[in-house]
Amino acid sequence: MSSTDAAQTGLTIEALTKAIDAVVATIVDHASELTDLDMAIGDGDHGLNMKRGFEAVRGAAAKIAAQTPADALKTIGTTLIMTVGGASGPLYGSLFLAMSKAVADRPIDLVVAAEMLEAGIQAVQSRGKSHAGEKTMLETLIPVGAALTAAGPAADPAALTAALKAAAAAGAASTVPLRASKGRASFLGERSIGHMDPGARSSELMVGAVCDAFFAPAP
């Protein structure tokens, strides 16, 4: 969607489908990087699990294309919960389910999108019993949510893309010096320091892919 279209008609399922394709592609492309990050401080399965889950989302493409954006987000959430496993499945699944619920039959413009993301972040916090500063995906999602909320209804697409990507990158990078207190990385104690959290990185990748799909100028 361009911001002008969004202001008038809201996010279309075509635009959402394009974003989903971009997210699936980036997760599949970066699966081994995510697995390597997870090997350093977890159990080395984040890339494989995310790849399996998002390939299942790709498999549901025909169903999603016939749905409203809100129902499509619900399909994505349910698919991830049933296919990813581990902690990432319930967490990313809860994110998408809460975003779907927050649409509440409204056209999705930037203001609604910001509300949706905030609702999604709340759901991740409550499912994971976690908060900022624990070296998790929230380190990426919370600043991205804040940047989207701050952007307001008429943000310039290029500036918004830059702001969201910068927030995501800074958020993921901020996990490196943190000591984990949630998830398997927490068992490492001090040894979790110095490594990027794989969930924060996968969230950064997803934010980047969504921005590019929504806001990149047509080739």
Helices 198-215 and 157-174, axial angle in degrees (round to 10): 170
Q: Which of 1, 45, 120, 139 binds another protein (CB under 8 A)?
A: 45
| Smallest gap from residue 185 Cβ to another protein (A) | 9
Q: How far apart are CA 2 and CA 21, in angstroms?
A: 18
189 binds another protein (CB under 8 A): yes
Nearer to another protein, 29 or 43 (CB): 43
Q: Which stretch binds another protein (CB under 8 A): 20-28, 139-147, 182-190, 203-211?
A: 182-190
Residue 131, phi then psi, degrees to nearest 5: -150, 175
100 binds another protein (CB under 8 A): no
| Smallest gap from residue 78 Cβ to another protein (A) | 9
128 binds another protein (CB under 8 A): yes
122 binds another protein (CB under 8 A): no
Nearer to another protein, 92 or 215 (CB): 92
Using CA atoms, how far residue 152 sits from 109, 113, 148, 175, in Å, is 10, 10, 7, 27
Q: Which of 6, 91, 95, 163 binds another protein (CB under 8 A)?
A: 91
Residues 6+ apart with CB under 8 A from 131: 125, 138
Q: Which of 25, 111, 188, 193 binds another protein (CB under 8 A)?
A: 188
| Smallest gap from residue 128 Cβ to another protein (A) | 7
Give me the helices (H) in the chain, please: 3-9, 13-29, 31-41, 46-59, 61-65, 69-83, 88-103, 110-128, 138-151, 157-174, 198-215
**How many other C-beta atoms can be found within 10 angstroms of the C-beta atom of residue 10?**
17
199 binds another protein (CB under 8 A): no
Q: Which residue has the tokens 């996990």?
A: 175
Contact between residue 94 and residue 79 where contact means Cβ atoms under 8 Å apart: no
88 binds another protein (CB under 8 A): yes
208 binds another protein (CB under 8 A): no
Question: By the criterion CB under 8 A, which residues form the site for another protein?
Answer: 35, 39, 42-45, 48-49, 52, 81-91, 127-128, 179, 181-184, 186-189, 191
